[in-house]
């Protein structure tokens, strides 16, 4: 089998892995031999037909796997072509792509060939070739395989910029059901080991400039959404816990795409729950950048996201007593809670209002988008001239168009008397406003 | 307030020249009707005044901005020079005047029309430069890397430090088709040249193989159940596509390769020289760029 076929098989097997970020590694510009640098903000090199950014060469070392996780294309019982890169083939391919500026680095994962230790050793061999004889100083993200020896994971951390352990499914029960070879314990153990390795390395870097670095871009994880029955609230609580306990940089969500028929799985003609995944990412951003807690976004009574409103708008609508806020006075934290204002706009407002009081025109000029924010703000004590702020039109401005359009497509009306999108939006707004 | 004069400043088209125009306007306490590089000067009713480029004067403006105002203000003026704003020189002058009046808070005064115009224009150019860090594609031409770009703004000086640091031990060339400029990195030395035309030799078999692998990877990595062309296009506008390896189908290349093979394998051997460069001793020639430190 030549490299072309191997690349095809092993890319196809890796594509359901979500992470493709190259950020967080700091700005480095090594001076010595070899090739490669990293930028803290990360660089996207292209966008594939599904709209996802491609920044790393995302492949598996091998898709031969001893495990039999029901949701996975590479499970032992699946009849699919198998292949394995040799460390040299993979290193050559990476260098060839990197040199032509196709990629920002390598994202290497692997099926569990023989046992977790053997699979990890294969990954290490490839990375040692890249970091050693090839002097590659670009970005590397490696997967730690649950159950591998801590010493091997330690070595992996010295070679890679970022490590990740997939948590796979949001609860122990689901794991037992769908991934019989994995347990909560052997997923969380390497996660904790990596966290400790990072902390330790950061501490010794304070003391010694040349102390070895351990996964300087931190660790991340991912879980599959929609294969099992957890609610959004449970997933969000878990996510928050992971950020707090394991200091993760990112938690990724992957809408389940049916790859197998099994009585324990959703039926193969299920559409991937893309909207749900989208809402989870929105909530994830609220946790990381908007100083929200999971309790504010969802709670015991409201276990699932509102499909028509994003989580931030949903929160705002339920807390109308806090609005409108005065742009020139509101603390930064409160500006962040205004629908339509994110960290960038909030920072710009905070900086610009030091130079003078802001009015509505100034807001537009500094680049604050008012489409949604106008209903929640006052400038110098006045609302936007000519704008009537009622519950009705506030809700209408906040409604997310995409799910409404979807609902329209699914509606039971015939094609002739199907209501127009605008009308559907009107009705949805009325419903939401009356529920407030 | 400087008095408005019916005069057009003409300069040599370089950054230093533009800074000297700013110096001139400060010295004469006036605001010209326009500032134009000599290449773009059109006949008009106004008197045209040639402003000589003087490195010492340019340095005083640049250092003044950096030290008396803020590094960010200096960045705005320098980046403005690289943009396609039709009145970038005059905008830089107005911004500089405001900067010296208001001090370091000037870049925060986004409510001011001059500041918002200047900062947003500079930020857009910076954004385009960042895009090109990812979307630029090199070809291996006999051991030397060559890339072509078609940017709106003159991004080459902005992306140079990044590529020089990343490919520090390679030799490469980046040719800007729109601004007819080339960056050449060789023996850890960078050079900016004015280049009017560039023809690259046909790709070798190795190069074609790398492109083929990359296209296959690109095709395979997309998940069919999530195909979303609008998302793809909003992230990667179509104007970048005609220079992206993965957006070409590669048919033509394979045809060319087959023809070359039929004609004899000799042409495929790596060649030491890379294309034909018609370098001209014009503005910006011989400028050196240091790698990001």
Its sign, for the CA torsion A292, A349, A310, A283, is negative
Q: Which residue of A has its CA nearest to B145?
A: A100
Q: What does the pLDDT read at residue A427?
A: 72
Please write the tens of the pLDDT for every residue from A390-410.
888 888 888 887 776 666 555
Average pLDDT over every residue of A160-183: 91
Domains and CATH numbers, chain A: 3-217 (3.20.20), 311-435 (no CATH)
B116 neighbourhood in chain A, CB within 8 Å = 365-366
Across the range A174-188, mean pLDDT stands at 90
User: Which residue from A minimizes the CA distance to B216?
Assistant: A8
Q: Average pLDDT of A406-419?
A: 54
Q: State the pLDDT confidence band at B270, using cuts at 50, 70 and 90.
A: very low
How many Å lie between the alpha carbon of B161 and the closest alpha carbon of chain A?
A: 10
Q: What does the angle CA A38 – CA A40 – CA A41 come to, to the nearest 5 degrees?
A: 115
Strand partners, A162: A141
CA distance B39 to chain A (A): 33
| Confidence bin at A419 (pLDDT 50/70/90) | low
- Contact at CB, B210 and A367, closer than 8 angstroms: no
For residues A72 and A120, the answer to whether their CB atoms sit within 8 Å is no
Cβ–Cβ contacts within 10 Å for residue B234, how many?
11
Phi, psi of A144 (to 5 degrees): -90, 130
What percent of chain B is predicted at pLDDT more than 70? Answer: 85
A-interface mutation test, from B124, B168, B174, B224, most A Cβ less than 10 A away: B168
CA-nearest residue to B206 within chain A is A96
What are the structure tokens assigned to B76, written together?
């705005």
Q: Tokens standing for A26?
A: 């700091």
For B46, residues 6+ apart whose C-beta sits below 8 A from its C-beta are: B6, B7, B8, B33, B34
pLDDT of residue A98: 96
- pLDDT value of position A436: 59
More confident residue, B250 or B223: B223
Query: How high is the mean pLDDT of chain B?
Result: 86
Contact partners, residue A328, CB within 8 Å, separation at least 6:
A353, A357, A358, A379, A380
Q: Which of B214, B225, B293 sits opposite A29 (nearest CB)?
A: B293
**In chain B, alpha helices (H):** 15-28, 55-64, 71-81, 88-102, 113-135, 156-166, 205-221, 229-235, 251-263
> Which of A267-271, A346-350, B9-13, B217-221 is least confident?
A267-271
Instruction: Return the pLDDT at A307.
Output: 87
Does the structure show a pLDDT above 90 at B73? yes
A83, pLDDT greater than 50 = yes
Is the pLDDT at A17 greater than 90, yes or no? no
Write down the pLDDT at residue A288.
Answer: 94
List of chain A residues whose C-beta atoms are within 8 Å of the C-beta of residue B225: 257, 271-272
Task: For residue B245, list chain A residues with Cβ-Cβ distance below 8 A.
Answer: 100, 102
How confident is residue B275, by pLDDT bands cut at 50, 70 and 90?
very low
Token pair belonging to A166 = 């997939």
- With CA atoms as reference, the chain A residue closest to B224 would be A50
Q: Record the pTM.
A: 0.87
Radius of gyration of chain B (CA): 23
* pLDDT at residue B287, as a whole number: 46
Question: How far from B233 is each of A402, B221, B236, B239, B275, CA to CA, in Å?
Answer: 18, 17, 5, 10, 33
Residue B27: half-sphere exposure toward Cβ, Cα within 13 Å: 11
Specify the higher pLDDT residue, B54 or A366: B54
Among B134, B221, B230, the residue with its CB nearest the CB of A44 is B134
Mean pLDDT of the A197-209 span? 89
Contact B226 A257 (CB under 8 A): yes
């395989």: which residue's tokens? A145
- Quote the percentage of chain A above a pLDDT of 90: 64
Give contacts of A93 with chain B, Cβ < 8 Å.
213
Q: Using an 8 Å Cβ cutoff, are B283 and B15 in contact?
A: no
pLDDT attached to residue A322: 93
Asked if pLDDT for residue A423 goes beyond 80, the answer is no
Indicate the residue of B111, B120, B292 with minimum beta-carbon distance to A352: B111
- Give the model confidence (pLDDT) of A104-134 as tens digits: 999 999 999 999 999 999 999 999 999 999 9
Check A52 against B236: CB less than 8 A apart. Answer: no
Residues A57-69 pLDDT 10s: 999 999 999 999 9
Q: Are A102 and B235 inside 8 Å of each other by CB?
A: no
Question: Is residue B292 scored above 70 in pLDDT?
Answer: no
Tokens 């939006």 — which residue?
A425
- SS3 of A149, please? coil
> Which residues make beta-bridge pairs with B47?
B7
pLDDT band for position B249 (cuts 50, 70, 90): confident
Q: Which residues of A touch B136 (CB under 8 A)?
A: 101
* Stretch A84-98: mean pLDDT: 96
Mean pLDDT over residues A175-190, rounded?
90
User: B172 — phi, psi (to 5°)?
Assistant: -145, 165
| DSSP line for B171-216 | -EEEEETTTTEEEEEETTEEEEEEEEEEEPPPPPHHHHHHHHHHHH
The count of other CB atoms within 10 Å of the CB of residue A31 is: 10
- Report d(CA A6, CA A88) in Å as an integer: 13
Least confident of A340-349, B142-151, B252-261, B272-281: B272-281
Q: Could you say which of A35, A359, A361 has the minimum Cβ distance to residue B170?
A: A35
The proportion of chain B whose per-residue pLDDT surpasses 90, expressed as a percent, equals 69
Where b means 16+ CB within 10 Å and e means fewer, A136-155 reads bbbbbbbbbbbbbeeebbeb
**Cβ contacts of B39 within 8 Å, gap of 6 or more:** B13
Arithmetic mean of pLDDT over chain A: 89
Distance from CA of B38 to the nearest CA of A (A): 33
Q: Which range (A330-339, A423-432, B54-63, B73-82) has the least confidence? A: A423-432
Residues A164-193 have a mean pLDDT of 90
Instruction: Determine the average pLDDT of the residues in A159-174.
Output: 92
Q: Residue B282's pLDDT band (boundaries 50, 70, 90)?
A: very low
Q: What is the pLDDT of residues A19-75, one digit of tens each?
A: 888 888 888 888 888 899 999 999 999 999 999 999 999 999 999 999 999 889 999
Contact yes or no for A101 and B246 at CB 8 A = no
* Residue A351 contacts residue A367 (beta carbons within 8 Å): no
Which of A11-15, B84-88, B203-207, B251-255 has the least mean pLDDT?
B251-255
Segment B35-44 mean pLDDT: 86
CB distance A35 to A137 below 8 Å: yes
CB contacts of A35 in chain B (<8 Å) are 166-170
ipTM value of the model?
Answer: 0.89
């Amino acid at each position: 089998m030549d490299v072309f076929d191997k690349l095809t098989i092993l890319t196809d097997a890796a594509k359901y892995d979500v992470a493709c970020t190259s950020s967080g590694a700091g700005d480095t510009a090594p001076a010595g031999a070899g090739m490669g640098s990293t930028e803290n903000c990360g660089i996207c090199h292209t966008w594939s037909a599904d709209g996802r950014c491609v920044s790393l060469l995302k492949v598996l070392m091998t898709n031969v796997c001893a495990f039999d996780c029901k949701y996975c294309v590479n499970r032992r019982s699946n009849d699919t072509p198998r292949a394995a890169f040799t460390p040299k083939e993979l290193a050559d391919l990476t260098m060839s792509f990197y040199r032509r500026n196709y990629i920002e680095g390598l994202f290497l994962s692997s099926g569990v060939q023989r046992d977790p230790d053997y699979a990890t050793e294969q990954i290490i061999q490839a990375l040692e070739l890249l970091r050693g004889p090839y002097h590659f100083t670009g970005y590397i993200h490696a997967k730690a395989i649950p159950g591998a020896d801590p010493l091997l994971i330690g070595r992996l951390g010295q070679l890679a910029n970022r490590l990740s352990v997939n948590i796979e499914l949001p609860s122990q029960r689901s794991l037992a059901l769908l991934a019989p070879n994995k347990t909560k314990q052997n997923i969380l153990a390497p996660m904790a080991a990596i966290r400790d390795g990072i902390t330790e390395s950061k501490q010794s870097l304070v003391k010694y400039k040349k102390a070895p670095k351990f996964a300087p871009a931190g660790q991340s994880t991912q879980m599959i959404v929609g294969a099992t029955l957890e609610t959004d609230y449970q997933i969000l609580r878990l996510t928050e816990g992971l950020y707090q306990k394991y200091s993760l940089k990112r938690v990724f969500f992957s809408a389940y795409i049916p790859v197998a028929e099994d009585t324990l799985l959703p039926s193969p003609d299920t559409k991937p729950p893309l909207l749900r995944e989208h809402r989870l990412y929105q909530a994830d951003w609220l946790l990381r950048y908007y100083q929200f807690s999971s309790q504010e976004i969802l709670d015991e009574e409201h276990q699932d996201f509102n499909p028509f409103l994003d989580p931030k708008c949903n929160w705002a609508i339920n807390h109308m007593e806090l609005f409108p806020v005065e742009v020139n006075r509101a603390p930064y934290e409160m500006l962040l809670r205004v629908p339509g204002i994110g960290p960038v706009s909030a920072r710009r407002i905070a900086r610009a209002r030091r130079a003078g009081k802001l009015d509505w025109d100034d807001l537009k000029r500094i680049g604050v988008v008012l489409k949604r924010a106008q209903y929640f703000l006052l400038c110098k004590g006045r609302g936007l001239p000519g704008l009537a702020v009622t519950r009705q039109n506030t809700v209408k401005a906040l409604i997310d168009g995409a799910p409404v359009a979807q609902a329209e497509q699914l509606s039971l009306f015939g094609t002739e008397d199907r209501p127009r999108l605008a009308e559907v939006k009107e009705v949805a707004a009325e419903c939401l406003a009356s529920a407030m | 307030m400087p008095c408005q004069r019916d005069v057009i400043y003409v300069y040599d088209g370089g950054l230093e020249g533009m800074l000297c125009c700013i110096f001139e306007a400060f010295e004469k306490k006036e605001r010209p009707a326009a500032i134009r590089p000599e290449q773009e000067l059109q006949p008009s009713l106004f008197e045209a005044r040639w402003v000589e480029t003087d490195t010492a004067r340019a340095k005083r403006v640049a250092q003044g901005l950096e030290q008396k105002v803020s590094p960010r203000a200096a960045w705005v003026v320098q980046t403005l020079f690289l943009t396609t704003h039709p009145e970038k020189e005059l905008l830089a002058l107005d911004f500089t005047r405001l900067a010296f009046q208001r001090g370091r808070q000037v870049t925060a005064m986004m409510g001011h029309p001059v500041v918002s115009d200047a900062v947003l224009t500079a930020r857009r150019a910076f954004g385009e430069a960042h895009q090109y860090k990812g979307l630029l594609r090199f070809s291996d031409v006999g051991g030397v890397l060559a890339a072509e770009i078609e940017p709106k703004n003159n991004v080459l000086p902005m992306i140079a430090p990044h590529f020089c640091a990343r490919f520090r031990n390679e030799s490469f060339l980046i040719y800007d088709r729109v601004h007819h400029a080339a960056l050449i990195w060789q023996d850890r030395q960078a050079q900016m040249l004015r280049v009017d035309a560039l023809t690259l030799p046909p790709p070798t078999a190795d190069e074609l193989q790398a492109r083929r692998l990359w296209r296959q990877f690109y095709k395979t990595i997309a998940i069919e159940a999530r195909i979303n062309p609008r998302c793809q296009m909003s992230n990667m506008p179509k104007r970048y596509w005609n220079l992206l390896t993965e957006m070409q189908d590669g048919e033509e290349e394979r045809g060319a390769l087959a023809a070359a093979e039929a004609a004899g394998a000799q042409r495929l051997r790596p060649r030491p020289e890379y294309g034909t460069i018609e370098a001209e001793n014009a503005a910006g020639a011989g400028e050196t760029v240091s790698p990001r430190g």
